[in-house]
Amino acid sequence: MSEIKKRILLLLAHPSQHRSEVNIPLFEAAKSIEGVTAVDLYGEYPRFDINIEREQQRLIDHDIVIFQFPLYWYSTPAILKEWQDLVLEYGFAYGADGVALKNKLFLCALSAGGKEDAYKSQGYNHFTIRQLLAPLEQTASLTGMRYLPPLALFGARTAIEDNRMSFYINNWQRLLKALVEDRLDLRKAAKLDKLNDQLDSIIRGE
Amino acid sequence: MTGYFLQAFIYLVAAVIAVPLAKRFGLGSVLGYLIAGVVIGPVIGLVGEETSVIQHFAEFGVVMMLFVVGLELEPKMLWGMRHRLMGLGGLQVVLTAVAVMAVAIWLEFQWSIALTVGLVFALSSTAIVLQTFNEKGLGKTEGGRNAFSVLLFQDIAVIPMLAFIPLLALPDLVDKAQLVATSAAQQHDEISLVAGLPSWAYAMVITAAITGLVVGGHYLSRPLFRFVASSGLREIFTATALMLVIGIAALMSLVGLSPALGTFLAGVILANSEFRHELESNIDPFKGLLLGLFFITVGAGIDFAILWQQLGIILLLTLGLMLLKALVLLILSVVFKIRKSDRWLFALSLAQAGEFGFVLLSFSVQNHVLPTEMVQTLSLVVAISMFLTPGLFIAFEKLIEPRYRVAKSERKADDIDELGTVIIAGMGRFGQVVNRLLTANGVKTVVLDHDISQIDVLRKINIKSYFGDASRADLLHTAGIEEASLLVVSMDNPDSATEVVKYVKKTYPQVKVLARAFDRGHAYMLRSAGADYIQKETLLSALELGADAMRCLGFHPFHVEQQKNIFRRVEKRSSDVLYQAWCDDSSGERFDNNYRKLFIELEETIKQEMVKDRSDKHATSERGWTPPPKGYDEILEGEEPIDSIPTIADGRITP
């Protein structure tokens, strides 16, 4: 049995789970990994009345925060924005006493409908995925968290048809395990545009 | 008169003692009744001569059982299972009859005797098997359903057998009988409408009777039930149900048809009626007791003198018969692709001879097809094979099923449990909305209401609902509470709603109960009765109207929404405390000083929460949407956030 060195808080935001082909299987796969607390935000707060105390306590109890979501208009689904607006309070996440998140690790695991080629300056989306997530990167920075580039799954609408799912699930679980056991080369990882294809070079001791 | 009381008392005592004991030892009620019969009959000898008289009476239990079985079968469903009914049932009867006949011929019996015995033994015991299925919840399994269609076919097949067997009469038996019977009265002491009619008239009478049954059942039953139900007298409804069953049985007997089959047909006709569940729960207690009586008479009717005389041969015949029947059934299960534990259930459950066997045997004696001595022996074979059946069920449960269950549990659980049904008790304005939401999402519901005009309205808008008082345990039972996963209690009478919750949570703890509360006090009562989810019927809609009022007064809609949420949250949070206070004041006066004080406190809390603001340390109302203090960002200018935050000691920022 491997050792749990870091605890992961995985926040899933998916408003249409009965249609999900990618995120829910990944979310389920994450649940099986020890050290991961998997939270379904739409499931817990169907009315958006987020319990701030509870969410802040969860942040305090974990070392790594992961947002998992399908990319909606180049950003997170609504509840994750609501969660940020409410939970990352002045005095908690930033400001004079706002040091609760300091030195925690933050990253996004997302699915995007478009092909990978679309996410570059020459593609029709014009920005890379890391560029598009700049608000989150800056949020991490202001709250004192260490930011990691996203694990991005492109072409999500055809992932099952192309038989890519088992590959993604495998990579996802490898990444989570490495994070829990503190085997990720953070310095190397932070420089990447996305974690996707570089797992072999940033995960140690496999 | 005294004699009758005494007899009835003995039968009841035997049942009351033996059946609970048998159930406790896991033997099932049927075996309990059989043993009770053996004890009071052959063993102690308390009852005896009158057994055959009582048996006729008790056979009425079988008649009622078929009525109830019919009630559960909609014509559509019956039509859907016609292939299985004819194929599986027909083959079972033919193959078993032929096999038994072959053995009998091999034993050098005359072919007509062999054929009759084959027909008698081809039948199984509907009474025992269905009763046991019910008790053990096996009726919905693949094996149970197949066994059921075979039983149904057998019960239908009795009629042509009754017509056919007299043709096999043996000349020397007829001669012998005539010598004895010339002085004695003729057999026709039974009342019959059709005695002595020519065959064409007979056919017409039968057709007329069945047509009358179908047409009457379809068109007259509903106005009749409505008329009776509107009186609001429960016992008259029970009387009507009994009248119906007894009347049909009488009519069928008068025209020489099987009463059991007639009532079965009536049951099927009424299966679509909204009165189905109420009818069933009215008939059920009678059915249960009469069936029990029937089993007792089977036990009491075992003639130990003959049994000891021919013990070896009878046991050999019984075991041989059961083996043969099981073998035929196993072969059929292979042909009809019944698999795994269902195959064994199918084969073992039907491997006995049945109550119609007794009927056919005495009928064949009357018609000089079988000699009397032989029938005595064969009756014992039938009885003992019935006696052994509960044992086979136990063997199935203890030995065969566990082996397959292990394999089943390894399978991954399904994501959604589609099988679970929801029972909605009370279809007033509240229950209807619940039902609409559920059915719109493909959830199967069973709807009960005791207001017949309400049921009428619902029927008009195509909502399937049943008449009945849900506060009656038996009605919940017939509505399938054992298999349901949820019960929604939305009856208008607060007291009976609480009673239902209490009863169901006590008897079927696995059923989740969702209850509608009339007011706060009722909500607490439901909670102490064990309801899993409670909604106060007016709280949420009143909150909505209050919100409308706030919006009319010019409050911002989003602010109104927030205040509504706070109200709900505080209300929910304090309800535990208030409930506790309510529970402690068990003196009967619920609203004593302590409770009143707490309630006033709750009102105060809600008010406070509503006006709280950012400046308050514990503010929750607008928390998170209020901006940070003015000038907070100046400290961030030109500094690295990660390093700067801990080092800030700037007097400008006050926490």
- More confident call, A11 vs B260: A11
Enumerate the residues of chain A whose CB falls inside 8 A of the CB of residue B635. Answer: 96
| Chain-chain contact of A49 with B653 (C-beta, under 8 angstroms) | no
Give B390's pLDDT tier (boundaries 50, 70, 90). confident
Residues of B in contact with A142 (CB under 8 A): 636, 641
Nearest to B389 by CA among B337, B328, B321, B333: B321
pLDDT score for A41: 95
Residue ranges of chain B whose CB lies within 8 Å of a chain A CB: 565, 569, 620, 623-625, 628-629, 632, 635-636, 641-642, 645-646, 648, 650, 653, 655
CB within 8 Å of B397: residues ≥ 6 apart: B136
ipTM: 0.76
Residues in chain A: 206
Cβ contacts of B215 within 8 Å, gap of 6 or more: none
Locus of tokens 């059942």? B217
pLDDT at B650: 39
Residues in A closer than 8 angstroms to B632, CB to CB, are: 90, 95-96
Collect all residues of chain B within an 8 Å Cβ-Cβ radius of residue A89: 623-624
Q: What is the mean pLDDT of residues B319-333?
A: 91
Q: Is A95 near chain B, with CB under 8 Å?
A: yes
Q: pLDDT tens digits, residue range B421-460?
A: 899 998 888 998 999 899 888 888 888 888 777 777 777 7
From A39's Cα to the closest Cα of chain B, the distance in A is: 19
Task: Flag whether pLDDT at A141 surpasses 90.
Answer: yes
- Tens digit of pLDDT for each residue in A107-117? 999 999 999 99
Summary mean pLDDT of chain B: 80
The pLDDT, as a whole number, for residue B586 is 56
Average pLDDT over residues B532-549: 93
Question: In this complex, which of B565, B624, B646 lies closest to A52 when CB atoms are compared?
Answer: B624
Residue B315 tokens read as: 């046991």
Nearest to B642 among A47, A89, A102 (CB): A102
CA dist B106 → A202, B103, B195 (Å): 85, 5, 39
Chain A hits for B645, Cβ within 8 Å: 94, 96, 98-99, 102, 144
Nearest of B298, B470, B448 to residue B388 by alpha carbon: B298
Chain A residues within an 8 Å CB radius of B633 = none
Beta carbons of A90 and B646 less than 8 Å apart: no
Which strand ranges, in their side-by-side order, compose the sheet holding B486-489? B466-467, B445-449, B422-425, B486-489, B512-517, B533-536
- The 8 Å CB, 24+ separation contacts for B245-251 are B245/B63, B245/B64, B245/B67, B245/B283, B248/B67, B248/B213, B249/B60, B249/B63, B251/B209, B251/B212, B251/B213
Strand A64-70 to A105-111 pairing: parallel
**Closest-CA residue of chain A to B647:** A96
Pick from A153-162, B286-295, B370-379 the range whose average pLDDT is largest: A153-162
Residue B184 has pLDDT above 50, yes or no: no
Region of poorest pLDDT, from A191-200, B158-167, B333-342, B607-616: B607-616
Highest-pLDDT range among B408-417, B436-445, B485-494? B485-494
3-state secondary structure B388-437: HHHHHHHHHHHHHHHHHHHHHHCCCCCCCCCCCCEEEECCCHHHHHHHHH
A109, β-bridge pairs:
A68, A151
Q: Among A177-181, B141-145, B564-568, B644-648, which stretch is predicted with the lowest mean pLDDT?
A: B644-648
Distance from A7 to chain B by nearest Cα, in Å? 21
Q: How far apart are CA B156 and CA B620, in angstroms?
A: 73
Check: CB of residue B551 under 8 Å from CB of residue B560: yes
Amino acid at A198: Q
B203-214 per-position pLDDT tens digit: 788 888 888 888
How much is the average pLDDT of B357-378? 82
B96-116: per-residue pLDDT in tens?
Answer: 999 999 999 988 888 888 999
Beta bridge partners of A11: A39, A67
Q: Give residue B171's pLDDT.
A: 72
Count of beta carbons in the 10 Å neighbourhood of residue B36: 27
- The answer to whether the predicted template modeling score (pTM) of the entire model surpasses 0.90 is no
Write down the pLDDT at residue B186.
43
Lookup: tokens for B326: 């099981």
Of A89, A90, A103, the CB nearest to B632: A90
How many angstroms separate the CA atoms of B125 and B120, rounded?
Answer: 11
Indicate if the pLDDT at residue A131 is higher than 70: yes
Which residue reads 């009756």 in tokens? Answer: B379
Residue B155 sits at φ, ψ, to 5 deg, of: -65, -35
pLDDT at B655 over 50: no
DSSP single-letter state for residue B309: H
Does residue A96 sit at the B interface (CB-CB below 8 Å)?
A: yes
Q: Does A204 touch chain B (CB under 8 A)?
A: no
Pairing of strands A64-70, B486-489: unpaired
Nearest to A11 by CA among A41, A36, A52: A41
CB contact under 8 A, B636 and A90: no
Give A103's contacts in chain B (Cβ within 8 Å).
642
Relative orientation angle of helices B51-71 and B234-254, to the nearest 10 degrees: 110
Which residue in this structure is represented by tokens 């089993």?
B295
Tell me, what's the pLDDT at B174? Answer: 66
Shortest alpha-carbon distance between residue A84 and chain B (Å): 9
Contacts of B655 in chain A (CB under 8 A): 91, 96-97
